[in-house]
Amino acid sequence: MSKTDSPSVFRLGTRGSALALWQANWTQTTLEASLDGTRIDIVRIKTTGDRIQDVPLAEVGGKGLFTKELDQALFDDRIDMAVHSLKDLPFELPEGIVLSAIGEREDPRDALVSDHRSLADMPEGARIGTSSLRRGSQLRARFPGLDVVMLRGNVDTRLRKLDEGEFDGIILAAAGLKRLGFGDRITELIAPDVMLPAIGQGALAFVCREADASARDALQVVNHPDTHSAVTSERALMASLEGSCQVPVAGYAQVEDGTIRLRGLIAALDGSRIVADQISGSTEDAASLGTELGVRLRAAGGDAILKEIGH
């Protein structure tokens, strides 16, 4: 795309956290380098999720708390596009807003930060901080002797609380730690077989108004086809399971030579039951594979878990 067939300026909306600003700055640099004559102006927007830090997201409305103000800014024509951590993006977007592009995935795994070498090394009763029901349920299932404690806040806030001795270890997304330069703090990269990642974890989501062809075209610069296929299957799984912050659902797809391998999981909140399965197929069938795996998980006992949780 050249300057002649795109606006000279796009307004990019973002949250104000350090990680969100890293994502916005990366997007700005990449788009400006790729689109001749185009300028990207970063617009910071405070979200409800940023303001409420002392309550689990599951109790106050879920992941939409990190996106609805940015959605409104798009509707109000205060911004032209927005960048999110894809795992924060609800599976159902407001009418008129589209997921236009998905950026290349960083490390999708969860990471332990601790003075102990690994989760298996943790002493009985060790306090592990996480804000995620998905992480908490898998921790309780595999390491029942650990004390899983709610921990919210930005990456630097969580690391500070660990350093002040409030926790023996905390679980964070490896991608966020690496992007912010905290990769050396990682004690253990947790294998997906031990803790299946969140849907979309490590990938970036770029949204814009559906009617804004210029923004949609510009964002194709940052779209990564294999990641797009993988996340499409994961989000179809999430939609099939009606996944949200209130449900411990995990999904992780890998793409190789046009083939997707998708793993999915539903867990009881206390970790007493986990239903897991996987499916493989062509990237052309990404969405239908996710839907089919969701049907399988429900039939294998996931429905009973969802009903207990209230879904």
Catalytic residues: 88
Q: Which letter, b or e, does each residue of 51-78 get, where b requires 16 or more Cβ atoms within 10 Å of its Cβ?
A: eeeeebbbeebbbbbbbbbbbebbeeee
d(CA 119, CA 143): 8
Q: Is 211 left (phi over 0), alpha (psi -120 to 50) or beta?
A: alpha
- Beta-carbon contacts of 294 under 8 Å, excluding residues fewer than 6 positions away, are 236, 237, 239, 240, 241, 264
Structure token digits, residue 291: 């839907």
Q: Which residue has the tokens 């009985």?
A: 124
> Which residue, among 174, 173, 114, 175, has the nearest Cα to 146 in the 3D structure?
114
